[in-house]
Structure formats: structure tokens, C-alpha cells
């Protein structure tokens, strides 16, 4: 089975076996690796090699008790309008460069985190999320995946009123409320995902499919995004990139649909993982 990684109680964990048991990286390695998740991203190739030798069957875990796989990233990037279906439903032109915004790191939450509903315009956006391993500057497209630790599924939860509160709009705050950047439940090592540029991704709202795509429909691929961003900013180990959402969000529907307390979002990236987010009163 693929090498999978997550965090619990702030400690780096390997996820092993069909029942998703946890192996504490620091303990299992006899201290070769620290408990700090950021250290694992710095030494991802070594962690992969170590993970292949682990025979520990681990301890059962409750996925609701995990942390985000990268719990305190230095930088969290979001890419807007990165599927043609979403750009068209938004009435926006197809971007000619990755439309990039920030999701502040205090909005990061574990994959199954509850989503507090502030106001009447909170929306869902299922996305393929990548976490960086070695990072760097000026990363070539051809080499970009070698700088990625792993892939998971996430929600770029958006307060549309806040997102479009000013002219011109400024996305950062509307996408950074508490728990508005949930992703998880674990990373799957990018090297071990053969079809990583063409994964089936879905989002359901209260059991009804609202988004359904294959990630080869991205306007800017993961490699394009990493190459573009690293030409401007230094990407750091543990950094997180939300790569964009396909068509089917709530605010483009007629009439629009907004999230309310009690709603349940289930997000799935086939072969990678599934997360469940319940909407709650703040």
C-alpha cells in the first residue's frame, strides 16, 4: 500500500494498513525522525524509505481526532477559477496565469473539521490539495512533482459576501475564517499515485452530488502552479496549495445555495481519501 502521512496531537504519523492505523514516526524510528511534521517534509525522501521498512501494524485511530496533515504551514495558496466549468459558471474570463490568493494558516483545519457558518453566503469548493516537501525557487515544470510530499482532498470554504465586499475584490479574508481550510485525512505520497494528474473528485451536499470532475480538467496543472509560484516566491516544506475548484459551487446556482448549520459536505478524491465536514453555528 502507498506511503501515507498525517498528524495527531501535533505529532507526525504514518498511516498503515487497510484499517488506517497510526504509527508514530518519532517512536517507530527510535528518534531518527522527530515528532515535528515539518521535519518530515524537510526529509521526505528519507521518511518514504523508512516507511517502506515499517512492520508495526499501528494503533486504531478516529479520523475525527487527526490534525491536518500539515498543521501549521508557513504559506497556504489558493488558485481561483482553475477549472473551465467554474470560470464559466462564475461569468469570469479564463485566467491567463494562475489566479492566486492566500488562505491564512490560522484557517487550516483537519479534514473532518466542523465549518462555522458566518452569515448567509458561505459556499463549498472541493479541491485537490498538495503539500510541499522540499520546496524551493524556480522549480521547473518537469521537476515539480518531485518537490511535492503528498496529495489529499480539501475544501476551500468561502464567505462570498466577505470575498466580494470590496472593489476590486480581495479573496484572502473571505477564505480564511476559522476552519475554512480543512484538508486530509492524510497525504498519499505523490510518487506513489500513478494517475495523479487525472483523479476523479466529487463533493456531495447532504448526500446529493454537487461537484464531479476529473482533475485533468485543471486549466493550470499542479506542475504549472508550482513552477509559476516558485518563480515568484520561495515554496517551503509543508506549504499547502489548494489547486482550484470545478463547477458546481453554490453561489453560481439559480437560485444560489448557501451552506447552513446542519449541512454535511463529503469530499472525495478517488484512491486518496474522503473528508466529511459538518456545518455548525459559530
Q: Give the residue from 119, 165, 108 showing the smallest Cα distance to 260.
A: 119
Q: Provide, rounded to whole angstroms, the least separation between the CB of residue 22 and Zn ion.
A: 29
Instruction: Report which of 218, 236, 199 is spatially closest to residue 38, judged by C-alpha positions.
Output: 236
Long-range contacts of 117-121 (CB under 8 A, 24+ apart): 117/259, 117/260, 117/261, 117/279, 117/280, 117/281, 117/282, 118/159, 118/177, 118/282, 119/159, 119/161, 119/162, 120/161, 120/258, 121/159, 121/160, 121/161, 121/162, 121/251, 121/258
Nearest distance from C-beta of residue 38 to Zn ion, angstroms: 25
Of residues 24, 156, 189, 239, which one binds Zn ion by CB under 5 A?
A: 156
CB 115 within 8 A of CB 265: yes
Distance CA 242, CA 31 (A): 32
Identify which range of 12-20, 67-75, 123-131, 232-240 contacts Zn ion by CB under 5 A: 123-131
Binding mask 2-31 for Zn ion (x = CB under 5 A): ------------------------------
Please identify, among the stretches 2-10, 65-73, 115-123, 151-159, the one whose residues bind Zn ion according to the rule CB under 5 A: 151-159
Residue 146 backbone zone (phi > 0: left; psi -120 to 50: alpha; other: beta): alpha
**Is residue 125 a contact residue for Zn ion (CB under 5 A)?**
yes
Window of 48-56, 150-158, 249-257, 273-281 that interacts with Zn ion by CB under 5 A = 150-158
User: Least separation, in Å, of the C-beta of 128 and Zn ion?
Assistant: 11
CB of 152 to Zn ion, least distance (A): 15
Stretch that binds Zn ion, among 122-130, 165-173, 182-190, 214-222 (CB under 5 A): 122-130
Minimum gap (Å) between residue 53 Cβ and Zn ion = 38
For Zn ion, the nearest residue by Cβ is 156
**What cell was used for 22?**
497510526
Gap between the Cα atoms of 60 and 38, Å rounded = 24
Looking at the Cβ atoms of 6 and 100, the one nearer to Zn ion is 100
* Least distance between Zn ion and beta carbon 175 (Å): 7
Binding site for Zn ion (CB under 5 A): 125, 156, 245
Amino acid at each position: 500500500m502507498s506511503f501515507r502521512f498525517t498528524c495527531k496531537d501535533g505529532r507526525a504519523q504514518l498511516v498503515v494498513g487497510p484499517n488506517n492505523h497510526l504509527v508514530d514516526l518519532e517512536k517507530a524510528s527510535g528518534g531518527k525522525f522527530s515528532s515535528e511534521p515539518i521535519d518530515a517534509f524537510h526529509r521526505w525522501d528519507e521518511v518514504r524509505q523508512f516507511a517502506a521498512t515499517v512492520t508495526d501494524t499501528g494503533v486504531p485511530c478516529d479520523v475525527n481526532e487527526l490534525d491536518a496533515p500539515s498543521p501549521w504551514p508557513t504559506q497556504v495558496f489558493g488558485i481561483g477559477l482553475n477549472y473551465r466549468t467554474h470560470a464559466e459558471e462564475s461569468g469570469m474570463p479564463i485566467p491567463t496565469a494562475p489566479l492566486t490568493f492566500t488562505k491564512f494558516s490560522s484557517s487550516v483545519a483537519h479534514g473532518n473539521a466542523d465549518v462555522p457558518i458566518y452569515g448567509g453566503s458561505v459556499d463549498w469548493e472541493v479541491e485537490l490539495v498538495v503539500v510541499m516537501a522540499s520546496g524551493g525557487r524556480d522549480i521547473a515544470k518537469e521537476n515539480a512533482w518531485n518537490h511535492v510530499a503528498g496529495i489529499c482532498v480539501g475544501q476551500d470554504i468561502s464567505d462570498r459576501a466577505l470575498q466580494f465586499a470590496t472593489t476590486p475584490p480581495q479573496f484572502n479574508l473571505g477564505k480564511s475564517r476559522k476552519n475554512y481550510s480543512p484538508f486530509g485525512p492524510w497525504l498519499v505520497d505523490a510518487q506513489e499515485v500513478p494517475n495523479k494528474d487525472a483523479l476523479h473528485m466529487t463533493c456531495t451536499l447532504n448526500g446529493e452530488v454537487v461537484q464531479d470532475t476529473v482533475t485533468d480538467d485543471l486549466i493550470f496543472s499542479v506542475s504549472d502552479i508550482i513552477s509559476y509560484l516558485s518563480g515568484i516566491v520561495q515554496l517551503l516544506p509543508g506549504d499547502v496549495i489548494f489547486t482550484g475548484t470545478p463547477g458546481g459551487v453554490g453561489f453560481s446556482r439559480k437560485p444560489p445555495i448557501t451552506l447552513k448549520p446542519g449541512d454535511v459536505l463529503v469530499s472525495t478524491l478517488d484512491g486518496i481519501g474522503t473528508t466529511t465536514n459538518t456545518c455548525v453555528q459559530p
